[in-house]
Amino acid sequence: VLLTLEAGGNTVSSRPQAAPVANAVTRSTAKNGQLSAIDFRRGVQGQGIINMTLSSSTISVDVREEQGNIVADFVGAKLPRGQERRLDVTDFATPVTLIDAFNRGENARLVIQRVGESEFLAYQTDDRYIIEVNPVAEEEVTGGPGQQKIYTGELLSLNFQDIEVRAVLQIIADFTGLNVVVSDTVQGNLTLRLQNVPWDQALDIILQTKGLTQRQNGNVIYIAPAEEVAAREKLELEALKAKEELEPLVSDTIQVNYAKVEDIKNIIEERRGANEDSDSFSLLSSRGTVSFDPRTNLLIVVDVPSKLPPIRELIQKIDIPVRQVLIDSRIVIANDDFSKELGVRWGFSGVRSTSDNGLAAISGSAGGNETIIGSAIGNLTDTGQPFPVEVPALADRLGVDLGVGGTSRLALALLGQDYLVDLELSALQAEGRGEVLSNPRVITTDRNEASIIQGQKVPFNTLDEAGNTVTDFEDVNLELTVTPQITPDGRVILDLEVKKDEIVGTAPNGELILGNREVKTQAMVDDGETVVLGGVFEKVTRNNVDKVPFLGDLPAVGSLFRRNQQENTKLELLIFVTPQVIQSGGIQVR
């Protein structure tokens, strides 16, 4: 957002402005002893920058802190009429929130209000006076590219009017004790006022103001215009290039111990200099060659002598043993089973003569009745009397057969002259607990995948295209696949996949039913610590009732016509993993 306050009016306009710098400007017509412009912008590092243009470089400025605010008095200068304003810059997200510009007596005063922890830097170059308000981070951050440069030099203050640049550089050299070499082309004067500024920042401000640059070698600093330094370095590179083209080639053999020699060769060839601009930053010159002997793992380099030391230095850094990791995993399957059954079997068999010299028979089945009637007919043929009749087998006498197999029983039989009552009660209660522990272990190198498989092949029948039965095999395995990554702080990032197959039952057609449990995840674990990757908990509750319709629902006597089954099953799967970085001396596996 750009906010503009024009002289002689109260209009405020806003329009989009490209990030990351935003400006708020108060302007007036430049006059002697005046502030001709007050410019505010947000720097790329979040600092608030107030840039003031003075009508004369000789105006004296007194900057200080009062009650947490920054106060700047411009001695003998005035703000033009109508330009005493308050500027709200809160929306720019800097430590600066408000800027008050007003006249106080014979001086113009600027009051800068801040929020949060911050520090400020004030300096002047010619007719520009700049105040930078920088936020102070709660924690010191070590940064990467784009972080604001950190100045560590001793603080100094400079206040000069129209002084030669060479003289200022000499003052800094005397202050720091460094040797400074200044090019003859460095000319000109400048006006600057710096208060409590690190000397290295003061030097950067002077160089940037005058378009200069520096090169440091030990305790010697060379200062020259940027164009001159660039041209000189280009000539040096051209001379080095010409020297390399005329220099004789030498051969060097380098023993590669741990890395693949072919990989080293590819890395070096990727850094080959293809032209004049890139040759100085390459590992090989345009004339250099590299080959290798896979049998002895030797690298053969042919190039100018100046290229060989960097190649050896690179190989020394990357040809190191790859760290190894022992992955110790435990797969635990625990089960807890409970079942209870209660059943009954009973039957009534009887026979009686009827009034018309007939027989009436009753039994648990038609087969039982057939046995009774058949024996009575046989008796009539032999003796003329139907009795005694043959007793049917137990299976034919039972009218209700809802017993429990393989369990404890209590049986009762009542035998009369012409009847037989059978009653059997059966009950079963079973409990079972089990635990299956699988402990696959595997060792692999950093960032390389490893797997371990244990299992068997289970046969099953299928039909081919012709309809013939053929036998195929299915893998039933315990498998662990892992890719470890060792972090710089000694922890281990694991890409893990654990599979466990098992036979869980048999289908009605006789084929096996296979079960599968699998975990695929990524986890970060401390070296030697155990982590639970995942778990599955299953609980099955079944209540089954087998009964004779209607009769099984009768109160009291209904128990004689039904069988009750209760089953509770609990199954839990847990997977534990413990990575352990193997040190150079090895590790003892228990």
- pLDDT one-digit tens code per residue, 282-338: 788 888 899 999 999 999 999 888 889 999 999 999 988 888 889 888 888 788 887
Please state the rounded mean pLDDT for residues 469-491: 85
Q: Round to whole Å and give the CA distance between 446 and 485.
A: 5
3-state DSSP call for residue 354?
coil
Confidence of residue 32 (pLDDT cuts 50, 70, 90): low
Confidence of residue 94 (pLDDT cuts 50, 70, 90): very high
Q: What is the pLDDT of residue 187?
A: 87
Q: What is the pLDDT of residue 351?
A: 82
Q: What is the pLDDT of residue 590?
A: 43
Q: What is the pLDDT of residue 534?
A: 67
Q: What is the rounded average pLDDT for all residues in the chain?
A: 80
Q: What is the pLDDT of residue 341?
A: 82
Q: What is the pLDDT of residue 161?
A: 73
93: pLDDT strictly greater than 70? yes
508: pLDDT strictly greater than 80? no
Q: Which residue has the higher pLDDT, 407 or 42?
A: 42
Please state the rounded mean pLDDT for residues 497-501: 83
Confidence of residue 121 (pLDDT cuts 50, 70, 90): confident
Q: What domains does the chain contain, in order, with CATH numbers?
A: 3-135 (2.60.40.3470), 155-233 (3.55.50.30), 247-318 (3.30.1370.120), 341-428 (no CATH), 432-582 (no CATH)
Q: What is the pLDDT of residue 137?
A: 63
Please state the rounded mean pLDDT for residues 150-170: 85
Please state the rounded mean pLDDT for residues 184-190: 85
Q: What is the pLDDT of residue 355?
A: 65
Cα 356 from chain centroid (whole Å): 96
CA 479 to each of CA 445, 450, 574, 575: distance values in angstroms, whole numbers, following the listed order: 19, 11, 15, 13
Structure tokens at 30: 């430049």
543: pLDDT strictly greater than 70? yes
Q: What is the pLDDT of residue 218?
A: 85
Say which range, 16-25, 92-101, 216-225, 292-301, has the weakest mean pLDDT.
Answer: 16-25
Please state the rounded mean pLDDT for residues 154-172: 86
Q: What are phi and psi of 433, to 5 degrees?
A: -130, 140
What is the 3-class SS of 376-439, one letter each residue? HHHHHHHHCCCCCCCCCCHHHHCCEEECCCCCEEEEEEEECCCEEEEEEEEEEEEEEEEEEEEC
β-pair type (69-75, 60-66)? antiparallel
Are 402 and 547 within 8 A, CB to CB? yes
Q: Which residue has the higher pLDDT, 521 or 537?
A: 521
Q: What is the pLDDT of residue 585?
A: 52
Residue whose structure tokens are 């000319």: 187
Q: What is the pLDDT of residue 536?
A: 74
pTM of the model: 0.48
